[in-house]
Structure 1
Amino acid sequence: MYFDSVNLFKTEDFINNLNNMYAHRDRNDESRREKLNCHIELTYRYFEFICRQKNLSDVFFRLEKNILKHKSEEVINLWKEMLANTVYMHDMGKINPGFQWINMLNELYKDTEAEKEHSLLGAYIYVSYFSKKIDKIHKRHDRFYLKYFMYLNSYIISRHHGILIDIKNYEELLSDFPEKYSKEKYYPDLNMDTSGKVYIFNSFSNSRKNVKDCLNEDDRLGFYIYIYSKLIFSILTASDYYATSEFMNGEKVDDLGLVNENLKRKFSEDIDKYSIMQSVREYEKNPVHDEMYTNINQLRSEITLEAEKNYLKDKSKNIYYLEAPTGAGKTVTSINLARLMLNSDEKINKLFYVFPFNTLVEQTEAEFMKIFKDDENIIKNISVINSLTPIKTIDEEDYEKSLLNRIFVNYPFVITTHVGLFNFLFGTSREECFPLVNMCNSVIILDEIQSYKNDIWKEIINFLDVYSEILNIRVIIMSATLPRFNKLIDYESENFAYLIQNRKHYFENPYFMNRVKFEMLNLKGEIKEQFKSLMEDIELEGKDNNKILIEFIFRKRADEFYDYMNENFHNEYGHKIVIMTSDDNKVDRKKIVGMAKDENTKLILIATQIIEAGIDIDMDIGYKNISIMDAEEQFMGRINRSYLRNGKVKFFKIDDCADIYKGDVRKEKEFTLLEDDIKDILMRKDFEEYYKRVIDKINVKKREFNDRGYAHFISQLNSLDFKELEKRMKLIDDDQKEYTVFISRDIEIRKDEFISGCDVWTSYKKVLMDNSIGYAEKRVKLSEINLLLNYFIYRVKKIPDQYNELLGDIYYISDGEKYIKNGRFNQDIFTGKKVDAANIIL
């Protein structure tokens, strides 16, 4: 293993009275305490366990190769020793008499006047120890370079119970430590010389200047150091948490939820048995050669086979593009590719499926269940990680292990959201960073990553490029409208490959290109006149179309048109008129989707962009307020999906999409259907040309010298401003403060079966306030209740004037029925005023 030969800090040589010091005390039994040296050793054993289980030796070798270019063996060995001792020495600060007395009730230190803080002291001891070792290195440049990592490692030690913030402020904290915290008071049992204020201040400053020069010479070094920092923080905090949990709860961690050889074999066998894959293999034996396709499934099979062939031809890349038309079966193709990637590298032992929306998470889980329905061993190892899904339990009462698995994502097959993934990659808290080490040696399938704000696309792809290289991640980026993200990388990266070589062969095939035709509706006049023109067109189309979909940009506009239709529509053909926005709960959405799928129900569905978010419906005709190209194509994907008729979409403009796509160049007129050449691009499905223009525009904007420019991002990266980087890489901006309300009422979930909001709230409150159950059991039970809680939870822009209770950040309103209009939560009634467009998106 990478750290087999390193020298560890000899605690018995440098710490007096070590055998009488403690690291933890049992919450339920104050007399039961864990000795400090036992915790140190156990934490390091977990560190070694994680490194072995996750095959991290090659990860550290890659970090070494990229961070320590042209360095001597002496420098490399000391760097390695410092890294290992970041874990081993993480709790040395617990020798503080204040910690021993206040936290551990250690009678030997009851007369102390010291405060209990220990993390900064641990960092100071680490620096004092390694400063002497580094000062023996011959080359001055190497000394400063190593000291930079010494201070960085010590910063991680100082933050291992908190969050990563900004290393610049740490310099002052550490420099002031010798004068603020005397040896006699805070570390009398430390048997070694320590560094003084001037020494720390000067060497810290010089080391940063030295590395700054290195960063200017190597564009990627800042990424390597950031990833190094996040990975060490993840491993240290995970090892510490596992060790602490073992002492506190007796819960020994011996399984990180890996895809072992047996699971890989079963995963492959089940995919081969799946009916769709068997059809693909049949097509492989007798493919179409003359372009005379007789059904869309032949093209779907070709896409799966071409992607497979191109991956097997070049398995050395880290990032693969899977570009295929809407309705081309990307899910099955990607699962087959995941199988190949898991089998192509014995070190790869995790699969992450990552989506922008919870609806897609649910659909993919259902697809997995169909493929693996007869294999309990695979099914029990598939876990959904999002805010809606309860914590997966191991055994009925094993809450500790269940919670540990959820916190660290210790599952072989994970289905989650982009927000969850970005928390792992860029989050700053322990809880957000815990799963990062589990992403090493994994396959990540990223669906529709371009659906998020493109003013951070350049940052995203540069990070993914380096993360995938260092952590040995195989990334599949898939979409029907797929940008060539690598064009946003300033250097020539050889890390990318295209799984579909001739996209036009599929996109321009009539089965995909002609599945849905579109035209423009010119709605003139004031809003009521526009509504009237739109309604009249719907009345005309109602004769030949049973399923009609209308999408607006804003919730408010959808509500207004819904009311207008109910008052004015001449319903000659017996259509039901329904509405779906984010104001509808899960049950109502499910009912509406059921109506849309019922062949005998004629339906007019008025919706917002929530309908694009993976809602599995197939409509005859659609109307849509224009926004950005991706949204137009996603919407068209809801029309004539089965290709059993002639699909049609009519685009109109009532509202401008600028409010919801702030900072996104795609909202600009030159990239929308207001321009004839963009209409032509959408008709030909030439998204490659479209995104070439978009990426050129992004590159121009990124050259600007402002806080959204790429130079500013690199400055934040090189200075390890963790908190600002987390803020920058956040996928969803919180432009306005939102509040969570629980609207209590009785909801019919099935015929004559109701769920009571009052009962759900009472159950939630009971578990939340029950101090007799352990933390893990409480977390698991709350996650189960959260599934029901979501039927009654809404996000609003103002604190309610009247509410019955406030628990945490949730306002409980017992008489919620008064805010319900036509069976739906109504923002206008709740706020008591009209809601402006910016407040009612979706």
Structure 2
Amino acid sequence: MITFKEIQKKELSNLSFLIEDEKYYAHTSNKKQPETLKEHLQLVEKYFLNIIETNKLEAIIDTIINQVIVSFKMNEQLNSYIKTLFYDAIIYHDFGKINHSFQQKEGIDNFNKNIIKRKHKESSNHSSISAYLFLIHHFKQSEKLLLDEKGEAVIDFLITCFSFPIYKHHSSYLSQIDSNFAYSQENIEYLKDFLTEFKFDISNEEIEDLQSLVSDMETAFLRVRELGFSIDFFPFFTLLKLNYSLLTASDYYATSEYMSDLKFSTEEDFGLLTEEIKQRIYKHFVNNKETSYNGELIKNPKQYLSVDIDNLKEKSPENLNFLRQKLGAEVLTNIEKYKDERIFYIEAPTGGGKTNMSMIAIYKMLKLHPEINKIFYVFPFTTLITQTAKAIKETLGLTEQEVTQVHSKAGFQTKDTGSNEQDAKYGNERRNQIDNLFINYPLTLLTHIKFFDILKSNKKDTNYILHRLANSIVIIDELQAYSPEHWDKIKFYISKYAELFNIHFIIMSATLPKIDKIKMVFKVDFEHLIPKAKKYLTNPNFAKRVKVKSDLLEDKELDLSKLAEILLEKSKKYAQNRTDEYPNSVYTIIEFIFKKSASKFYDIIFKINENDDFFDEIFVLSGTIIEPRRKYIIEFLKDEQNRKKKILLITTQVVEAGVDIDMDLGFKNQSLIDSDEQLA
């Protein structure tokens, strides 16, 4: 297939089409000379090619185009022409700025009086004119392909669709193509005058024929529907979304360079996993003294795999830690065994160390696949994000400026450039804004809502990020939190994007829904990194870590006051009978489904404790607790110096979302079995 560099060199897509290009402006500034339209388009082209190269996107685009060819049953020789359409949608997007009304608005005092004023109904709009020019040019070019009737129908459809990102590149949403995207016969007559400003080799007679296609674009869609064979539109859907992502991103970067003197060119600028970062991850993961067990595992995984799990049934801290290492060894070896696959399951018992297993997988995948240059962690709850971010930075040796959190409670991520001068400060703030907009960070933690919006949404701000998902590792944690009604959709999107975008998915949970068993019209392979997960789940070191009693459920008259008395009594008894290294201490947790119940219980137990003075601290942890307070509570509970105290934690189900704390006694409201397992 033709390369983008080769397309750039061809006369078909160079920027010499515009006659007297120096008289048209793209942007103006009171601080510098106006930017000509040609200068802007060259800058957009530069950023487009740079993003393609640094993110290794060309092979991704080629793969999707080949899938489009198969979907539409086209001759594979057309792949180069489709790729040219993709490229030209980027280049043509601002051709309509030759509109004299736009020039007058943009240029102010610099407005070139020699620009011809043409009668039209576009006001200062330029996007629709750009789309028109693209359509006319490529309807003409497609005639050279000498296609049959079906081929013409498909190509006309593709050309029409590729004009839509141009038409909507300043809109907030790439909405559905409908009757609003149409040119009236009257306006087309006005628009054809713009063709005289370009070196298009089109006669007046040809223009009349081509304009009939522009004025009746609905026919292009109807002809495709009537082809008589089933079409998988998903590859083209992703190709069009990716084009929109790259067009708007390249335009944004180019405009920022002119307006704010901000330049992005390197892997570091675009927030990718550079070779230096990868080498640092390898070294830190193996040599980190705080997680020395990972280094032992990497050096000799066979020592853990050689021991049968049936020989580790005796409950002991030694066996528990060995089982965790054995789980990690299975992940490590199976990632390599199935290195050509892209969708993996990690099903492991609560307490098995899933987050650490995911980092073992990251370590191995980066070694096996040098093209991977970004990592995404996807969670259903923000509480999981903040805790996991800390563990990732400590385990992988990443800095604050290499990890970002994307959720409603996250602050604005900043990168320090070390300069305090006013101009530099403004530029730094602007750069930080761009980095946050495009998530220019090697490792990102985000919510599942945000992630799946990127996959399916046509919102411009969301779609900016789509191109960054290519060549990445995506870890989806706590899959059981997703509603079963969405499992088939999750499987569909995961499987499609894994293939088309070269995304390596790792799906994790302690209570994993078998979405791989959902029947689809196409085959999807999910590789289980822990094939005999049930043996771990039933091992006494995991299965019998917690003794469950349900006698309180039989008390029909149990209210919050009585529950408070029982909790206090049980906590006292546990502390008094304790014979380990923490005598006369207890960590008690009680979980409610509703925040209102948790608040009422806090009021009751607080008053009792004022007189009794048993608990040293009573904490409340719920979804409304602000992030600094939440962090303080978790760090307090994990601090070894506090382990000899008597602590009560009152919480809602937010604590189930991967909050890594060890408690002695637990009370919870009756809930789903999966929820009970998550708390345990």
- Going from structure 1 to structure 2, the CA distance change for 1:534 and 1:616 (only over 3 Å counts) comes to same
Give the equivalent residue in structure 2 for 1:310.
Answer: 334
Spell out the pairing of 1:274-293 with structure 2 (5 A cutoff): 274=288, 275-281=292-298, 284=301, 286-287=303-304, 288-289=307-308, 291-292=311-312
CA distance in 1, matches of 2:339, 2:491: 20
The amino acid across from 2:541 in the alignment is Y
Shift of 1:426: 3.0
The 1:213/1:612 distance shift into structure 2, 3 A limit, reads farther
Say which of 254, 258, 263 aligns to 2:265.
254
| Corresponding residue for residue 720 of structure 1 | none
Q: Distance in 1 between matches of 2:366 and 2:208?
A: 49
Match of 1:326 among 350, 357, 365: 350
How many angstroms does 1:84 deviate by?
1.0
Read off the aligned partner of 1:390 and give its amino acid letter. F
SS of the aligned residue for 2:465 comes to helix
SS of 1:173 mapped into structure 2: coil
1:204-283 equivalent positions in 2, closer than 5 A: 204-212=217-225, 217-218=230-231, 221-255=232-266, 256-274=270-288, 275-281=292-298
User: Are 1:153 and 2:155 matched, yes or no?
Assistant: no
Match of 1:55 in 2: 56
Q: Matched residue of 1:351: which SS?
A: strand
Counterpart-to-counterpart distance in 1, 2:527 and 2:192: 61
Q: Which moved more, 1:256-265 or 1:324-333?
A: 256-265
Shift of 1:74: 4.7
How many pairs were matched up?
A: 625
Question: Structure 1's 302 and 626: CA in aligned 2 closer, same or farther, altered over 3 A?
Answer: same
Are the aligned partners of 1:539 and 1:571 in contact in 2 as well (CA < 8 Å)? Answer: no
Which residue matches 2:578? none
Contact conserved, 2:621 with 2:630, CA < 8 A, in 1?
yes
Q: CA shift at 1:325, angstroms?
A: 0.8
Post-superposition offset of 1:541 = 1.5
Mapped partners of 2:375, 2:279: distance in 1:
14
Q: Is the 8 A contact 1:101 1:110 kept in 2?
A: no
Q: Give the secondary structure class of the aligned counterpart of 2:4.
A: coil
The partner residue of 2:644 within 600, 604, 607 is: 600
Which residue matches 2:657? 613
Matches within 5 A, 1:79-98: 79-98=82-101
Letter in 2 for 1:349: N
Which one-letter code corresponds to 1:534 in the other structure? L
Give SS of 1:168's match.
coil
Q: 2:605 aligned with 1:583, yes or no?
A: no
Contact 1:392 1:402 in 2 (8 A): yes
| Inter-CA distance 4–282: structure 2 relative to 1 (3 Å threshold) | closer
Query: Which deviates more from structure 2 when the two are superposed, residues 114-123 or residues 625-634?
Result: 625-634
Deviation of 1:588 (Å)? 3.4
Q: Residue 381 of structure 1 contacts residue 412 of structure 1 at CA under 8 Å; is this kept in 2?
A: yes
Does structure 2 conserve the Cα–Cα contact (< 8 Å) formed by 1:322 and 1:500? yes
Contact 2:139-2:156 within 8 A present in 1 as well: yes
2:147 to 132, 138, 150: 138
> Which residue in 2 is equivalent to 1:107?
112
Structure 1 residue 161: Cα displacement: 1.4
Alpha-carbon distance in 2 for matches of 1:404, 1:588? 30
Give the percent of matched residue pairs that are identical in Structure 1 and Structure 2: 28
Give 1:734's aligned residue.
Answer: none
Q: 1:53 to 1:8 in 2, by over 3 A?
A: farther
C-alpha separation between the residues in 1 aligned to 2:129 and 2:543? 65
Structure 2 stretches of 5 or more lacking a match? Answer: 419-424, 576-585
Deviations 1:197-229 (A, max 9, x none): 753354x333323444679724xx232122112
Map 1:8-87; keep pairs closer than 5 Å: 9=12, 15-26=18-29, 28-29=30-31, 32-69=33-70, 70-87=73-90
Equivalent of 2:560 in 511, 514, 531:
531
Residue in 2 that maps onto 1:564? 604
Match runs of 1:352-431 below 5 Å: 352-373=376-397, 380-387=401-408, 388-396=410-418, 397=425, 398-431=428-461
Q: Is the 8 A contact 1:280 1:304 kept in 2?
A: yes
CA offset digits 1:682-722 (Å, max 9, x no partner): xxxxxxxxxxxxxxxxxxxxxxxxxxxxxxxxxxxxxxxxx
Match of 1:553 in 2: 593
Aligned counterpart, 2:579: none
Q: Does residue 1:183 correspond to 2:207, yes or no?
A: no
Deviation at 1:428, TM superposition (A): 2.8
SS, match of residue 438 in structure 1: helix
Give the C-alpha shift of residue 366 in structure 1: 1.9
What pairs up with 1:400-799 in 2 under 5 angstroms?
400-520=430-550, 521-522=552-553, 529-542=558-571, 543-544=573-574, 546-567=586-607, 574-575=614-615, 576-597=617-638, 598-636=642-680
Q: Residues of 2 paired with 1:148 and 1:90: CA distance?
A: 19
Paired residues of 1:342 and 1:348 also in contact (CA < 8 A)? yes
In the superposition, relative to structure 1, how do residues 569 and 320 fare at CA in structure 2: closer, same or farther (>3 Å)? Answer: same
Per-residue deviation, 1:196: 7.0
Kindly indicate whether residue 163 of structure 2 is the aligned counterpart of residue 119 of structure 1. Answer: no
AA matched with 1:20 = K
Cα gap change, 1:302/1:395 in structure 2, threshold over 3 Å: closer, same or farther?
same
Distance in 2 between the 1:571 and 1:281 partners?
54
Deviation, 1:425, is 2.2
Q: Which amino acid aligns with 2:297?
A: V
4+ runs of 1 displaced by more than 4 Å? 7-14, 109-114, 184-188, 194-198, 213-216, 523-526, 567-573
CA positional deviation for 1:574: 0.5
- The offset of 1:568, in angstroms, is 5.6
> 1:462 Cα shift?
0.4
In the alignment, structure 1 segments of 5+ residues that lack a partner are 637-842
Residues 312, 178 of structure 1: alpha-carbon distance in 2 compared, 3 angstrom cutoff: farther
Deviates more, 1:499-508 or 1:554-563: 554-563
After TM superposition, the structure 1 stretch with the greater mean CA deviation from structure 2, 587-596 or 625-634, is 587-596
Offset of 1:455 from its aligned partner? 2.4
CA shift for structure 1 position 104 = 2.5
Q: Distance in 1 between matches of 2:519 and 2:133?
A: 41
- Given that 2:401 and 2:415 are in contact with CA atoms closer than 8 Å, whether structure 1 keeps it comes out as no
- Any idea what SS the aligned residue of 1:592 has? helix
Superposed CA RMSD in Å reads 2.9
Aligned counterparts of 1:463 and 1:482: Cα–Cα separation in 2: 18
Shift of the alpha carbon at 1:470?
A: 0.5
- Contact (CA 8 Å) 2:478, 2:657: kept in 1 or not? no
AA in 2 matched with 1:539: L
Q: How does the TM-score come out when normalised to structure 2?
A: 0.85
- Alpha-carbon distance, 1:341 to partner: 1.1
Deviation per CA, 1:318-349: give whole Å up to 9, x if none: 11101111111112221121121112122221
Aligned to 1:338: 362
- Report if the CA contact (8 A) 1:119-1:158 is conserved: yes
For residues 467 and 111 of structure 1, what CA distance do their matches in structure 2 show?
47
> For the residues of structure 2 that align with 1:2 and 1:175, how far apart are their CA atoms?
33
What secondary structure is seen at the aligned counterpart in 2 of 1:600?
A: coil
In 2, Cα distance between equivalents of 1:180 and 1:214: 29
Secondary structure of the equivalent of 1:5? Answer: helix
Q: Which residue does 2:581 correspond to in 1?
A: none
Alpha-carbon contact 2:118-2:190 (below 8 Å) kept: no
- Aligned counterparts of 1:10 and 1:235: Cα–Cα separation in 2: 17
Moved more, 558-567 or 476-485: 558-567
- For residues 348-375 of structure 1, give each alpha carbon's deviation from its aligned partner in whole angstroms, at most 9, with x where no partner exists: 21122233333322222222332355xx
AA partner of residue 93 (structure 1) = G
Instruction: Give the residue type in structure 2 aligned to 1:261.
Output: E
